[in-house]
Structure 1
Amino acid sequence: MRQDDCYQLGEVIKTHGLSGEVNISLEVDFPDEYQNLESVFLEQQGKLIPFFIDTIQINKDKALVKFEDIDSIDEAKSIVKSKLYLPLSTLPELENGQYYFHDLVDCEVFEEDSKLGVVKEVIDLNGNQLLVIDSNGKEILIPLKDEILTVVDIQAKKVTVSLPDGLLDVYND
């Protein structure tokens, strides 16, 4: 499985107890939908490795997980900070006009007719989703809000924004 064929579900944040359980931060909109997961891919040394889930308990945006064959705290420590992935094919179909955050990556961003740059990633900063834009080598952060992203055309890989006054001034030297 290639990372390009997957989306990031979350990340192992710490061990829990002595029998190999780990706490996971879930980076998805509806964590409860993942209560019946049977397996995930963990990024290990740049490769995605399948891990089978023995038990999972979800509480808001966190999960307590026991993976098969991870039976000690030392084995659990070896996967802390590993990112978890699932195949894109497991995502539910969206209605017209809806999109997943990963769909925004590589979209060109315009304000009116002026190209600002290209979306490199979407990050979550203290509960606020931000588009990370590469603007000629300079990083610009744009809040991911409906009133700012006025047109999103995933097929054309184009996003049109209406920025608050002064936002770009922060990035000008």
Structure 2
Amino acid sequence: MKKEDCFYLGKIVKKYSFKGELLAKLDTDEPELYDNLDAIFMDLRGNLVPFFIESSQLHKSDLLRLKLEDVDTEADADALIKSELYLPLDLLPKLEGNKFYFHEVTGFKIKDINFGEVGIIKAINDSTAQALFEIDRDGIEILIPMNDEFIVKVDRKNKTIEVNTPNGLIDLYLSE
């Protein structure tokens, strides 16, 4: 399994018991969707390694308590702390309407109701306080905040996202 065929689920943050149990912080709004997994992939030194899950349960709302097969001691558990967790993309729940996964919209066209076609989404920047569409318009980078109020329609069939940005936002990037 390669990383590009998977999505980031979260990270092992600490040990839970002396029997090798671990707590994972999940990067999701719906941790309950991942409560009954059979297996998970862990990034160990750049390789995705599968681990079978003996048991799991939600712990304090956003943590998942995991008991992994063949992880039976504190030393086994210590070796896995800070490891990133991944699952195959086909396990992602399908989103409807204007909700989307960041990886899903890379390559989509952005069209603004007033401006017209803006360009192609080359990436999502989520390292800022507000996630941003990074759009390429013939070599010029345009950043549009991923604000629910701006997103009018996500058209998966035609790979377009229609937005309604404040007047002048796009022009800021085009006037030199």
Asked if structure 1 preserves the Cα contact closer than 8 Å seen for 2:41 and 2:87, the reply is yes
User: TM-score, normalised on structure 1?
Assistant: 0.74
Higher strand share: 1
Structure 2 equivalent of residue 154 of structure 1: 156
Distance 1:61 1:124 in 2: 21
Q: Secondary structure at the match of 1:63?
A: strand
Letter of the 1:150 partner, please give it.
Answer: V
CA RMSD of aligned residues (A): 3.2
Structure 2 equivalent of residue 143 of structure 1: 146
1:82-134 deviations in Å (ceiling 9; x for gaps): 22122222234455x355313123333343325255242364878x6x24525
Q: Secondary structure at the match of 1:48?
A: strand
Distance 1:4 1:53 in 2: 22
Structure 2 equivalent of residue 32 of structure 1: 32
Distance 1:55 1:5 in 2: 25
Offset of residue 52 of structure 1: 1.0
Letter of the 1:161 partner, please give it.
Answer: V
Rg larger in 1 or in 2?
A: 2
1:113 paired with 2:116, answer yes
Structure 2 equivalent of residue 66 of structure 1: 67
Letter of the 1:105 partner, please give it.
Answer: T
Letter of the 1:82 partner, please give it.
Answer: S
Q: 1:117 to 1:94 in 2, by over 3 A?
A: closer
Distance 2:147 2:75 in 1: 39
Offset of residue 63 of structure 1: 1.0
Distance 1:119 1:144 in 2: 18
Asked if structure 1 preserves the Cα contact closer than 8 Å seen for 2:98 and 2:151, the reply is no
Offset of residue 163 of structure 1: 2.7
User: TM-score, normalised on structure 2?
Assistant: 0.73
Question: Which piece of structure 1 moves more, 134-143 or 54-63?
Answer: 134-143
Distance 2:98 2:40 in 1: 25
Asked if structure 1 preserves the Cα contact closer than 8 Å seen for 2:54 and 2:67, the reply is yes
Distance 1:78 1:143 in 2: 37
1:53-95 deviations in Å (ceiling 9; x for gaps): 1221214221121211222333323322322122222234455
Q: Secondary structure at the match of 2:80?
A: coil
